[in-house]
Amino acid sequence: MAETSSNAGESSTSIERRGIDVIRGLAMDAPHAARSGHQGTAMALAPLAHVLFTRVMRYDASAPDWADRDRFVLSGGHASILQYAMLYLTGYGLSLDDIKDFRQWGSQTPGHPEVHHTAGIEVTTGPLGQGVANAVGMALAERWLRARYGAELTDHHVFALCGDGDLAEGISHEAASLAGHQGLGRLICVYDDNHITIDGATELSLSDDAAKRFAAYGWHVQDLGDAGEDLDAIEAALLEAKSVEDAPSLVVLRTHIAFPSPDQTDDPHAHGYSLLDDEISATKAAMGIPDQPFWVPEEVVDYYRAAGSRGADERSAWQQRYDASTADRSGYDAAMAQTGVAGWHEALPAGESGSSVATRKASAACLNAAVEGVPAIIAGAADLTGNTGTEIKGAAALSSAEPGGRQMYYGVREHAMGAIMNGMALHGGVVPVGGTFLVFSDYMRPAVRLAALSRAKVIYSWTHDSVGVGEDGPTHQPVEHVMALRTIPGLRLLRPADTNETAAAWQLAIDGDGPTALILTRQNVPELAGTNAAGVARGAYALSEAANPRVVLIGTGSEVSLCVEAAAVLASSGIEATVVSMPSWDIFNAQDPAYRDAVLPPGVPKLSVEAGVTLGWAAYADASVGIDRFGASAPGDVVMDKLGINVDNVVASARALISGESS
């Protein structure tokens, strides 16, 4: 419960200052109660947060999912108590008990903000720099929706708060460069220039000029200097940034960590949990507020709740515009639902028996077949558009000149691409498709992990999926990557064998939620008889089933055809073999035990065949044909053959397994 104080009737200025004091008190008290957290940054940024949530941002706290709300991204997610304090005070549904439960099991106030967990949190942040790139993606999505469906439905801004750590990470440079190139005028980042890192002053490792760097990227830059406590100066800078339509904005704000602590202001220790009982008491005395934990006077709550409800009229007006809109409502609604219109999948291609095609090309055909029926799709790649099957034929390049274009060019920026895609997806209205070579998924992995954690609906087109890449050699030949990606909880990973399986994978990606990884070949592979969507939808299925199998051959992707050929060779010598295609471990693992046993019958020896590391296959197979080493530079078919990914080795390994000679 908020407490009543005797300060009713305070002036606007005094109630604002009292509110900022309360935020700072919560920023100290919640981590202290948890004996964990980050106090100093939240204390220093209380005035900025106050201005954003009471004077600048457009939102309705009672409707946190309103499509046309301004977005707020706390890139430095360690300062989460700042955001939680604002969400509590402005009425998003958090209670004071939630604030007291900071960082505890099952609480609504975890250590770093988590989207879909706490109302009002737009993205999951924590790893530094990710939020900056997320905000770029959100600004791209906002502009794209505005261009395609009109400002009557989409007309808002994206605010991001970042610090020295965010701007030290390389991902922020990638994302800022692209944002400047794109001229994202609705993106406003505030740089908390507090000169503090965990190790000490930023001068230990950082001497670049952020204002000049962002200006060189094409951003509109305002350096406010030491104005961290000047509410009017902060407001004026943010309003000026909102008026800039042709460039993203950076507001540089010098703050003092842990201010107004008498002893720990500007102390690097205040980055973490450093203000304890005596320090908290001294700071509260300096602010002139009671020395009691979680002190929140009723008039402060009333003041912030009024700010939080101020956008209700604007939301109501938006709803009226939506109801009366003459825009493509079916397209807009499908886009916002991140799905296809009825029957969209009927346009997906089917394989032509007897032919062969690279699954990256099959995926490109699926993308182009789906793009009309799935209006939210924006596709692009990290400088590998044609190579990765992410080109939309005839689509305009998404740019400041063509803000409604559907072809995105990320440049050689894999890491930023992954995080920008997350921002697009979590903004809503966009299903981003992004491509690069599978070996370079390593460059994207932090963003991929966050996509899975956030359930962001993104589609990865990772191609050149094995040593079949060939002459480029081991630097470009993935061997451990598929297995490494399978370890990410919540990432739907599919390695299809041909066009039919690729089309089925696309249907799962669009009709499902969360991120989907398509693992695709560079080289042509045969179109196989019997591949089907129903089997792919269950993760694994018997492609050819023997009446009395002596061995089960389990393949994925390009190796399924090897299993089919090997089964034919074994059959010629009287050995029956069932061939199982297993495009997706995670989907298969979710099936009921009876189905899993029907596909992989207990008691029958099983051999896995995949052109990658064998680690992990023991969960399904008694022996494995794979590649537990790096590749080599040579034509792809030669490398495959030399490393044992061939019919003869599969047959020999199956015979050894049957005879009990397999190691």
The pLDDT tens digits for 483-506 are 999 999 999 999 999 999 999 999
Provide mean pLDDT across the span 604-626: 98
Write b or e for each residue in 295-334: b if 16 or more Cβ atoms lie within 10 A of its Cβ, otherwise e: bbbebbbebbeebbebbeeebeebeebbeeeeeeeeebeb
Q: CA-CA distance, 536 to 494, in Å (whole number)?
A: 9
> Of 581, 556, 553, 557, nearest to 567 (Cα)?
553
- Neighbouring residues of 204: CB distance < 8 A, sequence distance ≥ 6: 197
Q: CA-CA distance, 257 to 265, in Å (whole number)?
A: 6
Q: What is the pLDDT of residue 101?
A: 98
The pLDDT of residue 4 is above 70: no
CA 59 to chain centre: 23
Strand 196-197 versus strand 200-201 pairing type: antiparallel
> What CATH code would you report for 13-313?
3.40.50.970
pTM here?
0.96
- 340 near 506, Cβ under 8 Å? no
Half-sphere exposure of 646 (CA within 13 A, CB side): 11
The pLDDT of residue 442 is above 70: yes
Provide mean pLDDT across the span 460-472: 97
Q: What is the pLDDT of residue 11?
A: 60
Q: For the chain, what is the radius of gyration of the CA atoms?
A: 28
42's torsion region: left (phi>0), alpha (psi -120 to 50) or beta? alpha
Q: Which helix (H) or strand (E) holds 368?
A: helix 359-370
- 163 near 74, Cβ under 8 Å? no
Give the lowest-confidence range in 144-158, 194-208, 467-481.
Answer: 194-208
% residues pLDDT > 70 (the chain): 98
Predicted confidence (pLDDT) per residue in 53-98, tens digit: 999 999 999 999 999 999 999 999 999 999 999 999 999 999 999 9
Helix (H, G, I), strand (E, B) or coil at 300: helix
pLDDT band with cut points at 50, 70 and 90 for residue 6: very low
Question: Rounded to 5 degrees, what angle do the CA atoms 72, 74, 75 make?
Answer: 125
Using a 10 angstrom Cβ sphere, with 0-12 exposed, 13-18 middle and 19 or more buried, the burial of residue 663 is: exposed
Please pick, among 174, 279, 299, 414, the residue that the annotation labels catalytic. Answer: 414
Q: What is the pLDDT of residue 593?
A: 98
| CA distances from residue 554 to 216, 360, 594 in whole angstroms, order as listed | 53, 22, 18
Q: What is the pLDDT of residue 661?
A: 74
Q: What is the pLDDT of residue 7?
A: 38
Q: What is the pLDDT of residue 328?
A: 87
DSSP conformation letters of 420-471: HHHHHHHHSS-EEEEEEEGGGHHHHHHHHHHHHHHT---EEEEES-SGGG-T
Rounded to the nearest integer, the mean pLDDT of the chain is 96
**Residue 414 among the catalytic residues:** yes
Predicted confidence (pLDDT) per residue in 377-430, tens digit: 999 999 999 999 999 999 999 999 999 999 999 999 999 999 999 999 999 999
Q: What is the pLDDT of residue 353?
A: 86
Name the DSSP class of 3: B
| CA distances from residue 183 to 143, 188, 244, 414, 443 in whole angstroms, order as listed | 10, 12, 10, 20, 25
Domain pair 13-313 / 534-659, same fold: yes
Q: Which two tokens stand for residue 125?
A: 């942040």
CA 46 to chain centre: 28
Per-domain boundaries in the chain: 13-313, 344-526, 534-659
Residue identified by tokens 């981590």 is 31
In 527-622, beta strands by DSSP E:
541-544, 551-555, 577-581, 606-609
DSSP conformation letters of 474-523: TTT--SSHHHHHHTSTT-EEE--SSHHHHHHHHHHHHHS-S-EEEE--SS
> Of 353, 30, 48, nearest to 189 (Cα)?
48
Q: Which two tokens stand for residue 648?
A: 């003869």
Q: What is the pLDDT of residue 663?
A: 56
Predicted confidence (pLDDT) per residue in 242-266, tens digit: 999 999 999 999 999 999 999 999 9
> What CATH code would you report for 534-659?
3.40.50.920
- Neighbouring residues of 2: CB distance < 8 A, sequence distance ≥ 6: 96, 296, 297, 298, 300, 301
Q: What is the pLDDT of residue 8?
A: 38
Helix (H, G, I), strand (E, B) or coil at 636: helix
CATH topology of domain 344-526: Rossmann fold (3.40.50)
Predicted confidence (pLDDT) per residue in 166-184, tens digit: 999 999 999 999 999 999 9
pLDDT band with cut points at 50, 70 and 90 for residue 662: low
Torsion, CA 490, CA 481, CA 597, CA 530, rounded to 10: 100
The pLDDT of residue 3 is above 80: no
- 107 near 163, Cβ under 8 Å? no
The pLDDT of residue 209 is above 80: yes
Provide mean pLDDT across the span 106-110: 98
Predicted confidence (pLDDT) per residue in 120-171, tens digit: 999 999 999 999 999 999 999 999 999 999 999 999 999 999 999 999 999 9
